Amino acid sequence: MKIGIICYPTFGGSGIVATELGIKLASKGHEIHFISYKTPFRLNKFLDNVYFHEVEIPHYPLFEHDLYTLALTGKIIDVIKYEKLDIIHAHYAIPHAISGLLTKNILKDSKIKLVTTLHGTDITLVGLEPAYHPLIKYSLEQSDAITSVSQYLRTITEQHFNPDKKINVIYNFIDIDEYKRNPCSDIKHIIAPNNEKILMHISNFRPVKRVQDTVRILSEVIKTVPAKLILIGDGPERSDTEKLARELGISEHVKFLGKQNAIVDLLSAADIFLLPSQSESFGLSALEAMSCGTPVVASNIGGIPELVIHDESGYVAEFGDYKRMAKYVVNLLTNEKKWTTFSSNARKIVEEKFDSNIIIPKYENLYYDLLSE
């Protein structure tokens, strides 16, 4: 099967999932063609059956803004014509699904099938903009198949757009052989030389991630337990988060590492992973933490409760209730037996529900069903 994957190439969850999906499909013998304005950052080595097509955006003085959607459509048409694709898989409704639909309308004689995967903010944020709402509704109704990364996201999509076709829930996934706890990592001793407990958060530091709440949680935790907070990633909220740590007088206990690639080693050094988001359709970073045996303390919004089982693999609290989250953190850090049980449960849940060997065949079956129609 020849599959074109349209995605964002950045550090966001949708780009990571799309890239890992393509890599896994290629390892099973499918021919994968990534189409984007830049090479996805997870494509960092040569892989058989994997090709990348860069979207070149022409710049004309007449146009004040770049026409990426149209440039993307032109590139998709080109790839379909010359690579004879069977499936176009668009990750994110705008602009990717829209470009896919334009392609189908232009190539009327083509039997190409369009799959649209919804990842979250394309529905919960962009989709609520009045200007984009009819476009997203149209893209959903005209796609050959729709998938969402959580039950929560499917429900929200049905409420706001009422598409006339079934939305298939296919959870995000992880390679459990790659994401597993590495007890030999010496990062823990470097970060916490005095054997402090390590709290960790990974995100793109957007406002919805509520990164400042992780600092507030730490300020409560260190009243009882010596701890460090490790913040991985970067984005618009970083400077305000640094400022808050200084204002609370705990900046010496907070380390900003910026964007990192050694995620498994870092998560293996963590005692608790924090995800106090205001909006989260799934929580890919929490999945990575759980796969490494790190219990998660998070807000109980969106798709997080489908992943983090309260009082079993971690804890969830009302979003914004950082004091409650801090109590849950202290509860785990001061009870070694409970922490060990939660760590084991977290890994077990990932193995049973979110292993790539379980999820990837669901996408394959969806593709085959479409091609057999």
Does residue 9 have a cis bond before it (omega within 30 degrees)? no
Pairing of the two strands 167-169 and 254-258: unpaired
By CB neighbour count within 10 A (0-12 exposed, 13-18 middle, 19+ buried), where does 269 fall?
A: buried
Q: For residue 268, what are its two tokens? A: 């293996």
Residue type, 178: E
- What was the pLDDT predicted at 186? 79
- What was the pLDDT predicted at 131? 85
- What was the pLDDT predicted at 129? 82
- What was the pLDDT predicted at 11? 58
- What was the pLDDT predicted at 185? 63
Pairing of the two strands 87-91 and 50-54: unpaired
DSSP state of 130: T
Please name the residue ranges forming H helices in the chain: 13-27, 68-83, 98-106, 121-124, 133-142, 151-161, 187-191, 211-221, 238-247, 263-269, 284-291, 304-307, 322-333, 336-349, 356-372
- Is the CATH code 3.40.50.2000 the one for domain 187-354? yes
pLDDT in tens, 205-236: 999 899 999 999 999 999 999 999 999 999 99
Determine the CATH number of domain 2-172+356-372: 3.40.50.2000
pLDDT in tens, 54-70: 998 888 777 777 788 99
Q: Give the DSSP letter string of 326-358.
A: HHHHHHHHT-HHHHHHHHHHHHHHIIIIIBHHH
- What was the pLDDT predicted at 29? 94
Cα separation values, 349 from 17, 176, 200, 294, 337, Å: 19, 11, 20, 12, 18
CATH 3.40.50.2000 domain residues, the chain: 2-172+356-372, 187-354
Residue segments in the chain with a per-residue pLDDT below the cut of 50: none
| 3-state SS track over 33-78 | EEEECCCCCCCCCCCCCEEEEECCCCCCCCCCCCCHHHHHHHHHHH
Residue type, 323: K
Report the distance separating Cα 264 and Cα 222, nearest Å: 25
The answer to whether the predicted template modeling score (pTM) of the entire model surpasses 0.85 is yes
Q: For residue 35, what are its two tokens? A: 């189409």
- What was the pLDDT predicted at 58? 81
From the CB of residue 43, how many other CB atoms can be counted at a distance below 10 Å? Answer: 17
